[in-house]
Chain A
Amino acid sequence: DQQVKQNSPSLSVQEGRISILNCDYTNSMFDYFLWYKKYPAEGPTFLISISSIKDKNEDGRFTVFLNKSAKHLSLHIVPSQPGDSAVYFCAASGDTGTASKLTFGTGTRLQVTL
């Protein structure tokens, strides 16, 4: 039972254009959503987060949008840079019980081309 889904395994975008990475979730107990970025041979690193009381959070070139009614969130990277090439994981958690542990999606590999 995949509670957090990233249906696009990979995405290729030209440098300077917008990258949009999508994530869907099924557990209505999730109220917090985090994006992690992972380079090869390294551990994931935190990128940006959003709580369910917001529908948008922005940090420099990175913006996360949350549509709670659709149980969908997306990460926008504008403009995309070659150093953004990595695997991006969407993760979700709630306040209590099993939902309080981060549940990860399967990841989307982003390649930013010159």
Chain B
Amino acid sequence: NAGVTQTPKFRILKIGQSMTLQCAQDMNHNYMYWYRQDPGMGLKLIYYSVGAGITDKGEVPNGYNVSRSTTEDFPLRLELAAPSQTSVYFCASSYSSGGLAEAFFGQGTRLTVV
């Protein structure tokens, strides 16, 4: 029972490089999210998706892009990595949005930009 799977778990990028953080879920959830967590801070929403082909910005979208071509996958793209993007990134999914809908999280990707 995989749930939400994120790859890679760790990555070091040089300033200006690009990368894609992968996220896949096997629960047939329509809603998927990308969060970042900085030290001593809560989780900040980067982008979210309410279904295949539909994405929208969250609280901190600058420097990131997403796509949702299938229900299962929700990759996060960093085009020009900056030190401010050093963070732990979490992907999550839920069966609905708002209310008491429980979000299921992946294990996270720790990204360092040097």
Contacts and interface: CB of A to CB of B under 8 A. Distances in A.
Interface string B97-108: 111101111111
A96 B98 CA distance: 8
A101 B90 CA distance: 15
Nearest to B41: A106
Interface residues of B, number: 24
Contacts of B105: 36, 43-45
A104 B108 contact: no
Contacts of A46: 102-104
Interface string A19-30: 000000000000
B97 A44 contact: no
A106 B45 contact: no
B103 A102 contact: yes
Nearest to A99: B98
A104 B42 contact: yes
B4 interface: yes
Contact of A43 (B42, B100, B108): B108
Given A101-B48, A101-B97, A34 B102 contact: yes
B107 A41 contact: yes
Interface string B35-55: 100001111110010000000
Interface in B56-98: 58, 90, 92, 97-98
Contacts of A103: 42
A56 to B, nearest CB: 15
B42 A4 contact: yes
A43 B97 contact: no
A49 interface: yes
20 contacts: A6-B42, A9-B40, A32-B98, A34-B100, A34-B102, A41-B107, A41-B108, A44-B105, A51-B99, A51-B100, A93-B98, A95-B98, A101-B33, A101-B48, A101-B58, A102-B45, A102-B103, A104-B43, A105-B42, A106-B42
